[in-house]
Amino acid sequence: MRIVHLFVLLVVLTACAAPVTSSPEAAQPTRAPTRSSLSSGRLVSPLQPRLWLITDPSAVLSVAATNAVMATPPSAPPTGVPHKFVSEWMNTALKFIARDGLPPTRAARELMLVSVALNDALIIGQEADQEQRINNTALLAGAMWPVLRYLHPQHSETIDRYVHESRWLGLWLRNPVPPEQIERSFQIGRAVGESIVGWAKQDGSDEVREITLPASGGWNTKKLPLDPHWGIVKTIALPAGDAIVLPPPPAWESTEMETERTAFQAGQKVLTDEHRELAWYWHADVGTVTPAGLWFETAITMALVNKLDEAQTASLLAHLGVAMHDTAVACWHNKYLYGFKRPEQWMATVEPTWQPVLPTPPHPSYPSGHAAFSTAAADILIVAFPHHQQLLAERAADATRSRVIGGVHWFMDALQGMALGHDVARYVLTR
């Protein structure tokens, strides 16, 4: 029994250390084909900027020119700490996510909207800079104003203060920025942000749908199921949430599932304090930055350490944001497609005194969201920072196995979560 457990764990760790580093075809996991073939093309570095949600920059610039009614500049410098850089706005979004207790699905969506708004604003600002100088601090403040107010209306007063202090920071530099330049920059960013909010309001995230679970999956929960409709939310790089369909989990009475149960039960008997600590570190439940947020923190640190410029940092985070959002949608589609039971449901019948290390989440088991998020994120970051491949692969492996250790996922959940994450990263990086 112990041998089975160790063998499956080895498979998990080995698979997790196989990031996207070559052509989409070469990196394809060995498993049943997905419903939609992966897009063909070359892999492009996430440090290479591209527009994600703004399809007509000229229309954005036209709206910005219409909105350019000169505001009254402040008469004194800001008393707080203005947001000057992309990373500072992303850190503010992470704080709001933790403070407001967003679940992993909605946290991933927010991180995508914020990072894409910053990225697309910088790209359009660079284009506008060819005609007249652009102040990036005001530009980013303009982009964040409508996006953050849409995502966190209860914090509008705080957001307004952050935006106001950052918007006019250029007035107080050693070489002051002209107010007209600040206003134009701000309005361009604002037009980008408003366009992205318009997209978000129609992405299906607030829809209410009845989901019928297959009886064969056996999953149930006493809590309110988490976002059962999320598989129909609009995606960015993926054609849709059902573009990646994982193979069905084995039948409950099959030999394959018996092996899965045996391996899981054996693994739970050999846990150490170190294992439990790992499980809690990666748990990242509601009230934290969530798993996607942990990877954003890693990406921000790596951008600083590797001395990326603003455009590169924004591009990296936007690629990561799109990957996290699309992963959440595709993962939730598969979760509710199969509705497979959690280990705790079975263990309660064979070992009533057993309790998982972590609380069991209120959504189906197959596949693991942590495995999918972490594999997709590691793939994106490894392409950007190949010299950190070992570190990133190890972090993804830790995040993946932490959920099996925590008693909330089967080994197959981890393996198929990784397969899904690899597929999403490939979509995001392929053009």
- Whether 192 and 293 share a structural domain: no
- Whether 75 and 192 share a structural domain: yes
Q: Is residue 51 part of a domain?
A: no
Contact call for residues 75 and 179 (beta carbons, < 8 A) = no
- Whether 36 and 92 share a structural domain: no
pLDDT of residue 74: 86
Chosen domain end from 137, 172, 200: 200
Residue 288 bridge partners (DSSP): 286
- Whether 323 and 290 share a structural domain: yes
Q: Is residue 303 part of a domain?
A: yes
Work out the average pLDDT over 328-344: 97
Query: Per the structure, how many domains does the chain have?
Result: 2
Q: Is residue 52 part of a domain?
A: no
Q: Residue 307 pLDDT more than 80?
A: yes
Distance, CA of 187 to CA of 244 (rounded, Å) = 39
Q: Residue 85 pLDDT more than 90?
A: yes
Q: Is residue 111 part of a domain?
A: yes
Work out the average pLDDT over 119-146: 96
pLDDT of residue 38: 55
Distances (CA, A) of 399 to 85, 355, 429: 29, 20, 22
- Whether 394 and 281 share a structural domain: yes
Q: Residue 12 pLDDT more than 50?
A: no
- CA 400-405-407 angle, to 5 degrees, is 110
pLDDT of residue 39: 54
Cβ contacts of 81 within 8 Å, gap of 6 or more: 165
Distance, CA of 428 to CA of 383 (rounded, Å) = 12
Work out the average pLDDT over 144-163: 97
- Whether 105 and 6 share a structural domain: no
Q: Is residue 285 part of a domain?
A: yes
Q: Is residue 12 part of a domain?
A: yes
Chosen domain end from 200, 230, 246: 200
- Whether 214 and 191 share a structural domain: no
Q: Is residue 281 part of a domain?
A: yes
Domain range holding 152? 57-200
- Whether 374 and 393 share a structural domain: yes
- Whether 189 and 238 share a structural domain: no
Q: Looking at 69-78, 129-138, 308-317, 354-363, which range is the least confident one? A: 69-78
- Residue 76 CB-half CA count within 13 A: 3
pLDDT per residue over 180-211, tens digit each?
999 999 999 999 999 999 999 999 999 887 77
Report the share of the chain in percent with pLDDT over 70. 90
Chosen domain end from 144, 172, 200: 200
Q: Is residue 205 part of a domain?
A: no
SS (H, E, C) the chain: CHHHHHHHHHHHHHHHCCCCCCCCCCCCCCCCCCCCCCCCCCECCCCCCCCCCCCCHHHHHHHHHHHCCCCCCCCCCCCCCCCCCHHHHHHHHHHHHHHCCCCHHHHHHHHHHHHHHHHHHHHHHHHHCCCCCCCHHHHHHHHHHHHHHHHCHHHHHHHHHHHHHHHCHHHHCCCCCCHHHHHHHHHHHHHHHHHHHHHHCCCCCCCCCCCCCCCCCECCCCCCCCCCCHHHCCCCCCCCHHHCCCCCCCCCCCHHHHHHHHHHHHHHCCCCHHHHHHHHHHHCCECECHHHHHHHHHHHHHHHHCCCCHHHHHHHHHHHHHHHHHHHHHHHHHHHHHCECCHHHHHHHHCCCCCCCCCCCCCCCCCCHHHHHHHHHHHHHHHHCHHHHHHHHHHHHHHHHHHHHCCCCCHHHHHHHHHHHHHHHHHHHEC
CATH number of the domain bearing residue 276: 1.10.606.20
pLDDT per residue over 381-414, tens digit each?
999 999 999 999 999 999 999 999 999 999 999 9
pLDDT of residue 32: 40
Q: Looking at 67-71, 116-120, 360-364, 393-397, which range is the least confident one? A: 67-71
- Whether 91 and 39 share a structural domain: no
Report the share of the chain in percent with pLDDT over 90. 83
Question: Which one, of 211, 45, 189, lies nearest residue 122 by Cα?
Answer: 189
The per-residue pLDDT of the chain, averaged, comes to: 91
Residue 340 bridge partners (DSSP): 218
- Whether 223 and 273 share a structural domain: yes
User: Whole-model pTM?
Assistant: 0.92
pLDDT of residue 5: 45
- Whether 255 and 394 share a structural domain: yes
pLDDT per residue over 16-64, tens digit each?
445 655 433 323 333 443 444 455 678 899 999 999 999 999 999 999 9
